[in-house]
Structure 1
């Protein structure tokens, strides 16, 4: 029997740029609703889709020269703006090269105020003001297990009662991610796991996907925000999470890495009392909606300022 909510309910989000609530256009929507809302679909997820070989196989397909034929149709179908691209469309040899494309710097201006934190990626963002009471999201009774998600119980204690910003990237989005604050960045710690969808269609059913999927953790010591954790989370069909930065001093908005093909997310974790998240983020979260905004736009300001 299909799950009625997953089978029919649209995904609403608030678009900060327009001030309007919109319905998400989901890439591969039919498959996702079947996979997470139908018993047979859920079996397929358990048997194949969450396995690493499935994502590696799909990632391999997107790296083949013939995948290039999908690029223009994708641009047309999802209204992607080529004027933002750092390189001409015809230079992408594969779909994956297009997928993790670079943009012109002016396409994503970064808020220059040092007391402001920014979104690390384009996407739909969900703010959780206090991770200890995060069970109002997705499904009642599901709590966010911070220690399992971070993969370090001692480190998690330092973030008890902290704030989380979940930045969910869809296949139609720009798939490079950046530092949300300036500071000293530590090394990347990889955490093994499976690769399942991070779409609300999946998370509404099983929030534990967050700490069961593959993850990469970086701790940034920021003069304005204290200790900040930036976590990349892999998802179904993500060919890889690729870090491009060097350990040491980083500036807000600097490139951190990119995802190969697939949906995925970046999660930023702030210590208790370190950040005042923007009012519209919190208002939309209270309404059960994500907020769409682009990398470099402000998401909150330091409580120290």
Structure 2
């Protein structure tokens, strides 16, 4: 799958950390065995997090910044550990109007049909892995709400080089929150990430916003031991919602018919392109509901 940078309109290629290891884990018999017995287990991520939180891990920061061509000014900041560097706070520019990008990363948007199925344009998605069909019911561990039919499913994929804090895209109120336990598989493009979304550890919230009902979900991935949320009841657009520990991660959002996603993102998704977006930028607009 190719990535298009929204600002430049150019197709880009991002460096993937540990690509050879991921290839071994997902494309060989012994790799899949190690994955099932060890790497995809939550305790592995917890053990690894001990190292990343220690001062010994500071040596990894310089090479990480160089590899992913990040701002060299980060080298001047006194991070206590690699974990401290990875979950750093940065100044973000938030658009005053519109439906905002919750996170920086690669975004794909799927239309939700009135039949509850996912579509890219007029093409219905049939997501089948090892004989199992994956759909929104498996993702939510509950039936898809009626208000979501005719809306959109937004899929944010965060690579290691992306900023791993995320914000509220609208103003609203959290009506319900639940945690879903699971494994911690990779969400890379070459891994079976639809299976990961349906089986990984995740946190789901149901929101009432000024542009209708909405579902928001953080999904942990391999090496991500924790999802850190501020757990606000009432929130405002642009406020920080939380952050991920080290690792590639994903966010899924489901919005109703009151939200319309910007056409360039929809067209890119139809062409099977991920759109590289920045946290806080406008990605759509919504009808403001009257109280």
TM, length-normalised to structure 2: 0.89
Q: Does 1:297 align with 2:287?
A: no
Aligned partners of 1:134 and 1:182: how far apart in 2? Answer: 26
Q: CA deviation at 1:144?
A: 4.6
Aligned partners of 1:291 and 1:110: how far apart in 2? Answer: 18
Q: State the Cα deviation string for residues 249-295 of structure 1 (Å, max 9, x = none).
A: x1111100000011101111102x22211111111111111100110
Aligned partners of 1:180 and 1:34: how far apart in 2? Answer: 37
**Retained in 1: the 8 A contact 2:220–2:250?**
yes
Where do residues 96-175 of structure 1 align in structure 2 (5 Å cutoff)?
96-104=83-91, 108-113=92-97, 116-130=98-112, 132-134=116-118, 140-142=126-128, 144-153=134-143, 156-175=145-164
| Further displaced range: 170-179 or 28-37 | 28-37
Residue 235 (structure 1) aligned to one of 212, 221, 241: 221
Residue 288 (structure 1) aligned to one of 252, 267, 272: 272
Residue 198 (structure 1) aligned to one of 180, 187, 211: 187
More helix by percentage: 1
**Retained in 2: the 8 A contact 1:60–1:239?**
no
Aligned partners of 1:30 and 1:220: how far apart in 2? Answer: 40
Gaps of 5+ in 1: 1-10
Quote the residue 1:210 is aligned against: 197
Q: CA deviation at 1:140?
A: 4.9
Change (3 A) 1:76 1:214: same
Q: CA deviation at 1:247?
A: 1.4
3-state SS of paired residue (1:188): strand
Where do residues 61-100 of structure 1 align in structure 2 (5 Å cutoff)?
61-83=51-73, 89-100=76-87
**Retained in 2: the 8 A contact 1:187–1:247?**
no
Q: CA deviation at 1:40?
A: 2.5
**Retained in 2: the 8 A contact 1:135–1:141?**
no
Aligned partners of 2:23 and 2:273: how far apart in 1? Answer: 19
Aligned partners of 1:295 and 1:68: how far apart in 2? Answer: 26
3-state SS of paired residue (1:199): coil
Residue 38 (structure 1) aligned to one of 28, 48, 71: 28
Q: State the Cα deviation string for residues 88-123 of structure 1 (Å, max 9, x = none).
A: 74421110000010002xxx211111xx11110010
**Retained in 1: the 8 A contact 2:177–2:205?**
yes
More strand by percentage: 2
**Retained in 2: the 8 A contact 1:118–1:299?**
yes
Aligned partners of 1:267 and 1:90: how far apart in 2? Answer: 32
3-state SS of paired residue (1:208): helix
Quote the residue 2:178 is aligned against: 189
**Retained in 2: the 8 A contact 1:111–1:118?**
yes
| Further displaced range: 181-190 or 168-177 | 181-190
Quote the residue 2:233 is aligned against: 247
Aligned alpha-carbon RMSD (Å): 2.2
Q: CA deviation at 1:239?
A: 2.1
Equivalent pairs counted in the alignment come to 280
Q: CA deviation at 1:141?
A: 4.2
